[in-house]
Structures are given as structure tokens and as C-alpha cells.
Structure 1
Amino acid sequence: MKGSILAMNKSKVVLASFCILTGAVLFTACKDKRSTGLEYARNMYDPIAYNPDQPNKNFKNGATAQVPPANTTPVGFDKFDNYPNTKEGYEAAGVSLVNPLALTEANLESGKHYFTVFCAPCHGEKGDGQGHLVKIEKFNGVPSYHGDAASSRGGLMKDLTAGKIYHTIEYGLNNMGSHASQLSPEERWKVVMYVQQLQKIQ
């Protein structure tokens, strides 16, 4: 009898403690409507790093986003200053730029893949200017890489040099936008390599 009373008192104490703890948690969570209440391990979802636009006392100018040091180049950045987006830059690229990649099956296959993804929708898989966007009349006047198709900058498309093709991928031309953000320099050269194979089609 005495043991059962003790057991009942113990369970009442546990229940009362639980109720008090629950009430305390609810009270702290609800006292401020703007508060998120108790948070567990908030450093797992609150960023420790500064946002780029936040003030930052760690730098003399108080800004988080800093200008890169002079004469530095970001990793993977292709400096193309010698060949500006002008007719003169295009012609200079046509004379001076040479594909640095070896003509291999692997590079051609890779170039074909990038061409199919990024170029074929307009230029067609065979480079004939009959991509599906041309067929549904989204774009007109997309030239073929082979035959007697003329370039809008003069000469025939089948005679374009590697440098001229690369320059066009870098900056775009007419309705074609720049693909510099979609393709790395190496990927661009692989596309150039594949386009030069398409130029040989009679």
C-alpha cells in the first residue's frame, strides 16, 4: 500500500515537472511574436560568413566585397583583351589565334557533344543552318558551315579560320549571343575543332 502511494506520488511529480517544463517552453516561445522561440543548433542554419553587401569591420574600407588585387586573374578566366568585340578584333583573331588542342577522336567527340547541346538548335546537327529553332521559324538567316553560304562579315562560312570561329563563340554575332559563360575556353576550342570538321562537308 505504502509502495503504491510512493509510486503514485513519483508519477505525479514527473507529470507536474513535465507540465511545468512544457509551460515554460511555450511561454518563452510565445512572449515575443517576432521571436522564433528556442532554437536548437542555430549555427547550423545561420550563416557564419558575411554577406557580400554587409559591413565588415575586418577591412579598412568597412566593406565585405573587396576589389581583387591589381594584375590578378580569376581561376579559369580567359583573358581576351587582345581581340576586342570589333571587326578588327575578329580579323586579328582570325589571323593570330590557333587551336591549342590536339586533333584527337576524344576532343572531336567532346566538341560534337557541346555543339549538339549549344549550337545545333540553330545551326543544325550537320551544321547546315537548319536547326529546330530555324524550322519553327524562331530565327532566320542562320548560315550553313559548308557549301557557298556567306558569312555576314565577309567570305564563306566554310573558309572561317579557327580564330574567327572562337571569336564568334566568345562574343556572339547578330542573333547569336555570346557563349563565353556557357563554355569554358577548352570547351570552345573543342567546338571550333568540330565546326572545322563540318566545314569539310561538300
Structure 2
Amino acid sequence: MKGSTLAMNKNKVVLASFCILASAVIFSACKDKQSTGLEYARNMYDPIAYNPDQPNKNFKNGQTAQTPPANTAPVGFDKYDYPNTKDGYEAAGAALVNPVPATEQNLISGKHYFTVFCAPCHGEKGDGQGHLVKIEKISGIPSYHGDATSSRGGNMKDLSAGKIYHTIMYGLNNMGSHASQLSPEERWKVVMYVQQLQKIQ
């Protein structure tokens, strides 16, 4: 009986101590309205590294973001040397060759990317009759086959791989650039599929 009374008293002391401690923490937190309270792992909120727009005393010009050294390129960046001009278009058409192997899998991938990014305007068959053309009444989208002509001259069915790639890269007329949506390899896969559509009679 005496042991159980002693155990009950210990439990009451522990509970009372916990309540006093919790009350002290709560009241001390409410004391200063500007205080954010205790923070755990503050360095997770305030990184050691500089932000790009912060001043930085480690560089002569005092800026964190620096101009990259000459003749360097970001990791994974593929340089495209043909400007968005008529001459650039013609040069790309004459010089560029599709580096992606002509395999069944690459053609299937090209069809997928074409369906997602191109077919809404150009149509599933490349006939210029995509669902946006029908809904929005957009005109002037040529077919890749038949006698349709390009706004840059020549028949659409005769466009070279380089000219198709250049157009995907920069866009043309109402078509915007798809360089940010498709990687260089994906663009070449689309080119491969478009060249299949060019063969349709």
C-alpha cells in the first residue's frame, strides 16, 4: 500500500513538473509578439551559399551571378549555329543531317512527340487539319504531303531534315518555337516522323 502511494506521488510530481514547464514555455513564447519562437536547424532556412541576386564581396564587381568565361557552355547545352533568318534556314537545310538512328523505336517516339506537340495544328496525318484548325478556324497550316507549298518556298513534301529541324527550333509564322518543349534528340525524332508523313501520297 505504501509502495503504490509512493508511485502515485511520483507520477503527480512528474505531471505537475511537466505542466509547469509547458506553461512557462507557452507564456514565454507569447511574451514577444515579434518573436518566431525557437527554430530547429536554422541553416535549412538560411543557406550558406549566396543567392544569384545577392551582393558578393568575393568578386571585384560585387555580384554573385557572373558572366560565364568565353567559349564555355552550360552542362547539357547543345549549341545551334544557325540563326533565325532565311539564310540560317537554308544553311541548316543544306548542312544538317539527322543524327538519330532510323529505328522503329525512334520512329514510334517521334510519332508520340508529333502527336503531343504538332498534331493539334498539323493533324495526325500531317495534312494540316488538326483539331485546333477545326475549332479555332486557324488557316494557313500546310500539309506535309501532296502539293502544299511552304511559306519559305518549295513543296512541304520536299523539305529536308535540316529545314524541318530549324522550323521546330525557331517556329514560323503562327507556330512558336518548340525548343523549350523538346530536347535536341526529341526534335530529331519528330523530324524523322515528319519525313515519314512526307511520303504519304
Q: TM-score, normalised by structure 2?
A: 0.89
Q: How many residue pairs align between the two structures?
A: 201
Is the CA contact 1:166–1:189 (under 8 Å) kept in the aligned structure 2? Answer: yes
Compare 66-75 and 40-49 and name the one that shifted more: 40-49
Q: Distance in 1 between matches of 2:25 and 2:54?
A: 33
Tell me the CA shift for residue 6 of structure 1. 4.2
Tell me the CA shift for residue 9 of structure 1. 4.2
Which SS does the other structure have where 1:178 is aligned? coil
Tell me the CA shift for residue 179 of structure 1. 0.5
Tell me the CA shift for residue 188 of structure 1. 0.8
Percent of aligned pairs sharing the same letter: 87
Which SS does the other structure have where 1:168 is aligned? helix
Question: What runs of 5+ residues in structure 2 fail to find an aligned partner?
Answer: none
Q: Give per-residue Cα distances to partners, 1:147-187, cap 9 Å, x unaligned.
A: 01111111111111111101100100001000111111111
- Root-mean-square deviation (CA, aligned residues, Å) is 2.1
Number of the residue aligned with 1:68: 68
Number of the residue aligned with 1:197: 196
Q: Which amino acid aligns with 1:106?
A: Q
The residue correspondences of 1:114-193 to structure 2 (distance < 5 A) are 114-137=113-136, 139-193=138-192
Q: Distance in 2 between matches of 1:147 and 1:179?
A: 25
CA distance 1:66–1:138, change in 2 (3 Å): farther
Q: Give per-residue Cα distances to partners, 1:24-46, cap 9 Å, x unaligned.
A: 22133222223221233344455
Number of the residue aligned with 1:102: 101
Number of the residue aligned with 1:85: 84
Is the CA contact 1:145–1:195 (under 8 Å) kept in the aligned structure 2? Answer: yes
Q: Distance in 2 between matches of 1:147 and 1:15?
A: 88
Which SS does the other structure have where 2:177 is aligned? coil
Q: Which amino acid aligns with 2:71?
A: N
Is the CA contact 1:28–1:38 (under 8 Å) kept in the aligned structure 2? Answer: no
Q: Distance in 1 between matches of 2:57 and 2:24?
A: 38
Question: What runs of 5+ residues in structure 1 fail to find an aligned partner?
Answer: none
